[in-house]
Structures are given as C-alpha cells and as structure tokens.
Amino acid sequence: MTAPAEDFGGLVTRATRLWSGNFGNLLVLSLVFVLVAWIPFANVAFLAGYTRAILKVARGGKAAVGDIFRAWDCFGDLFVYLLLVIVAQFALNHVPVMGQVAGFVLSVVVAPGMYGIIDRKMKFMDAFRWSLEAVRGDLAGWLLAVLIGSIFMAAGALLFGIGIIITLGWGSLVTALQYDRGEPRVIIL
C-alpha cells in the first residue's frame, strides 16, 4: 500500500524496487502474457489476469503465471469497456495533432476504470464514472502514472520489441501503485 502523502517520485521508486525485487518472476509473467496476448478476445481476459498478477506484486504478494488465465469473471465488462475506448481512440486518431493529444488524455481518464473492473468487479458504466472521479481526485498522479508507465514500456519495446518483456512489469507496477495509492487493499489470491 502506498501512503497518500507519498510524492510521485516515491511511487516510481517503490515500483522500481518491486520490479527489481521480483525481476525473474515478472520477466516470466510478462513473457507468457506477450505470448498469449495475440489471441483475439481471450486477450481481454489475459490482460485482466496479468493486471491482477501485477496488483499482487504491488501489494506485496507473489504472482504466478497461472494468474494470467484466471480472470474470466470480469471478461464481459472489460471487453465492452475496452471496445468503447478503442473505438474512441480510433476516431480521435483521425483528427490531426489534437486527436493524438485527446487520445492521450482519454488514456489517462480511462486508466483507473480498467482497474475498477478487474479489481473491484465494477460494471463498465460504473467504471467510466468512477474513473472520471478518480482522475478528478488526482489528475497529476494519474497523468504521471500513465505517462511514466508508458515510457517504461516503450523503452523496452524499442529494444527490438523483445525488451517489452523486461519493462512491461515495471511500467505496469507504476500504474498499479497509482491505483492503490492511499487505499488499503487485500492481496488477491
């Protein structure tokens, strides 16, 4: 759990410590996720499983590769949520310059909602509303978490694509810790 008063730099430092302390486990977890994430439709459940595994690590637990395959309970709501986000992103990408900026803003605004569906089993419409409130409550934190998490993941992808396996867990931990910031949580088993 992250203390509410902790600055964002402290959150990134904590994510880095968790990442380095669980490096081998996160490497295997990310490798398996990358190998199965290409499977249409099932990848939504695998994303949920990967996210739950990352939340376990963020909360001091130990994630297992099998966690990736155990998140079908939120599939429907997460599928609809992500489909709506993808459609909106697609539309925004067709607007020159400002569309890309709006697309990034959309990514920030919807990030907490994905966690709400996966961790709190929210319905997709409730997740959109809750996500807006979460971002409104800590705009700077969510903006930085999405930006820094994306930079960490992109840095790995730049290493011939395969580096994403190394940095995916690190970037994911940043956003997971932002989600958990200031709220006591129970480790998902």
Q: Which of 131, 126, 123 is nearest to 73 (CA)?
A: 123
Asked whether residue 21 is assigned to any structural domain, the reply reads: yes
Its pTM stands at 0.89
Q: What pLDDT was estimated at residue 28? A: 96
At 176, the pLDDT band (50, 70, 90 cuts) reads: very high
The per-residue pLDDT of the chain, averaged, comes to 91
| Mean pLDDT confidence for 19-44 | 95
Q: Residue 118 falls within a domain, yes or no?
A: yes
Nearest to 144 by CA among 2, 9, 4, 17: 9
User: Residues 146, 134: contact at Cβ < 8 Å?
Assistant: no
Buried-exposed string 87-124: b where 16+ CB fall within 10 A, e elsewhere: eebeebeeeeeeeeebbbeebbbbbbbbbbbbbeebeb
* Structural domain contains residue 186: no
pLDDT tier for residue 183 given thresholds of 50, 70 and 90:
low
* Statement: residue 125 has pLDDT above 70: yes
Q: Identify the domain containing residue 110 by its residue range.
A: 8-180
Domain count, the chain: 1
For the cut 80, the answer to whether the pLDDT of residue 160 exceeds it is no
* Domain assignment of residue 85, yes or no: yes
Local structure of residue 121 (DSSP, 8 states): -
29 within a domain of the structure (yes/no) = yes
Quick check: is 2 in a domain?
no
